[in-house]
Amino acid sequence: MAEERRRSEERRLPELPGASAGAVVLRLPPEPSGYMHLGHAFHGLINYLYREKYGGFLWLRFEDTNPRKVRAEYYDSYREGFRWCGVKWDAEKNNSDDMDLYYSYAEMLLELGGLYVCSCSQEEMAKQRAEGAECSHRSMDASWHMEKWDRMLSGAMREGEAVVRFKGDLQSQNTALRDPVLFRVVEHPHPLKGDRYTVWPTYDFAVAIQDAVCGVTHVLRTSEFMFRDELQDQIRQRLGLRNPVYVEYSRFEFEGTPLSRRRIRELIEQGIVRGWDDPRLGTVAAARRRGFTPEALREFVKSYVALTPSRKLYSWDLLYAINRRVIDPKTPRLFFVPDPRRVVLKNPMAVKVSVPLHPSADMGSRALEVGDTVFIPGRDADLLKPGDRVRLKYLTNIRILDRVEGGIVAEAEGGGPEPGLQVIQWVPEKSHRLEVIVPGMLFRGEVPDPQSLSTVSGLVEAYEASVPVGSAVQFERFGYCVKDAAGVYIFTHP
């Protein structure tokens, strides 16, 4: 009985601490500065799944307060990526929309002595922070800081000349609290705001304010931000703003597949991969192109992703299995013959067989017209000796008579499937060439594997021409593939 219950138990998301239905506000904070990868997709799905679970509210909020990193095209690529994943958000904003708000909060804190303007060099500051030492600017009075702040805003201070710092605890074990920089001058146009602002908040300030003004109740993020919690909380505390609950978990890693945007960018720049949607990559564009479905991603997150701080290194097999379950019932079967060998039939058939597009689902059929020649995979042909028998699926059993240059001579015996008789796929003479790009594991250890992308070429039955680009098929005894372009498929998984 207990056994029974355990088996049928469905996987669910764990409760969020302190969450109640209808009162959960979450946020999805991408920085529009690079390619969206599966990690972003998972974060999106996690937030969205919780939004659904509690009937809460989800913000899509672009963390775009570093004009030098942000690029306009990425805003939309994230929107598109999340949309494709099935993530729906209730409202959207950019951190860069609220510059005046940051300024007014900064002024409040400057008056209260919670912030100070500092013109130490970066090197000096690093040294002081490491030693826990205070600089001369820290103890100046509020009016001095206000004046400098006004000069910063007016553009009189150039980049690097002055920053605004948090008056924290220079001795703190948590170095994030040792008077971090909260505003700096950036003389670089912003893709959305142009030259309107040169004084930009850093991550900690912008996030602290935004999470409060968005009414965020739960911050779900990766644990590398762990050390910022206290800082962000203190910033809000000084402003009388409410703090959220943090749920922090380790980042997601996939075997042999780097997810860091920096590393992906390097691979592209070095020409190791063919672009940001190279099927070996862990980008959302690659996953999509390769034939992974949003349903599978969602199921994966729901059932196999834990919000825990322990290291996770997922193997692709799990995603394959889930994706297979999603696509199998709706994916048509076709015959593709890699590395084809000619089989000449001593007794020509001259038949047209109609074969089903799917073994169980009602998807209709396709026709194959056979004369005296068929092609079978080299892998199978190489094992056949005169006298051997094999079944050409849906067509006939054949007996090998002879091996000749470039193929096999066989005799069609007719008949049906027999127990123990191997069934193989084949294509008729009237078939066309096809290439399948097979992505492998990009990394073996530390170095990229140059052999990780291979191409299998072969013959496919004529019906293939009618498959639309972007849709999936299963090439029997080969695997699931997606049509990438005319004559080119990408191997999804077995």
Partner RNA sequence: GCUCCGGUAGUAUAGUCCGGUCAAGUAUGCGGGCCUCUCGAGCCCGAGACCCGGGUUCAAAUCCCGGCCGGAGCACCA
Residues numbered 359-378 forming contacts with RNA, rule: CB under 7 A:
359-360, 377
- Out of 92, 134, 227, 433, the only residue in the binding site for RNA (CB under 7 A) is 227
Closer to RNA by CB, 116 or 200: give it: 200
In the bound complex, what is the minimum distance in angstroms from residue 178's beta carbon to RNA?
A: 8
Of 46-54, 63-71, 78-86, 146-154, the segment contacting RNA by CB under 7 A is: 63-71
Of 267-275, 283-291, 318-326, 445-453, the segment contacting RNA by CB under 7 A is: 318-326
- Out of 136, 173, 270, 451, the only residue in the binding site for RNA (CB under 7 A) is 173
213 belongs to the binding site for RNA (CB under 7 A): no
Of 43-51, 276-284, 311-319, 364-372, the segment contacting RNA by CB under 7 A is: 311-319
174 belongs to the binding site for RNA (CB under 7 A): yes
203 belongs to the binding site for RNA (CB under 7 A): yes
Of 62-70, 81-89, 134-142, 234-242, the segment contacting RNA by CB under 7 A is: 62-70
312 belongs to the binding site for RNA (CB under 7 A): yes
Instruction: Kindly identify the residues of this chain, within the stretch 250-279, that bind RNA according to CB under 7 A.
Output: 250
Instruction: Kindly identify the residues of this chain, within the stretch 67-106, that bind RNA according to CB under 7 A.
Output: 69
Binding mask 412-441 for RNA (x = CB under 7 A): ----xx-----xxx----------------
132 belongs to the binding site for RNA (CB under 7 A): no
Q: Which residues of 63-81 are buried (b: 16+ CB within 10 A; e: fewer)?
A: bbbbbeebeeebbebbbeb
Q: Checking DSSP bridges between strand 199-201 and strand 181-185, what pairing results, if any? A: antiparallel
330 belongs to the binding site for RNA (CB under 7 A): no
- Out of 101, 108, 120, 268, the only residue in the binding site for RNA (CB under 7 A) is 120
In the bound complex, what is the minimum distance in angstroms from residue 25's beta carbon to RNA?
A: 19
136 belongs to the binding site for RNA (CB under 7 A): no
- Out of 47, 66, 198, 234, the only residue in the binding site for RNA (CB under 7 A) is 66
Tell me if 71 sits within 8 A of 93, measured CB to CB. no
In the bound complex, what is the minimum distance in angstroms from residue 382's beta carbon to RNA?
A: 11
Closer to RNA by CB, 325 or 486: give it: 325
In the bound complex, what is the minimum distance in angstroms from residue 196's beta carbon to RNA?
A: 17
Q: Checking DSSP bridges between strand 336-338 and strand 453-461, what pairing results, if any? A: antiparallel
Closer to RNA by CB, 189 or 274: give it: 189
Instruction: Kindly identify the residues of this chain, within the stretch 24-53, that bind RNA according to CB under 7 A.
Output: 29, 31
- Out of 20, 143, 237, 308, the only residue in the binding site for RNA (CB under 7 A) is 308
Closer to RNA by CB, 155 or 275: give it: 155
Q: Which residues of 132-150 are buried (b: 16+ CB within 10 A; e: fewer)?
A: eeebebbeeeeeebeebbe
200 belongs to the binding site for RNA (CB under 7 A): yes
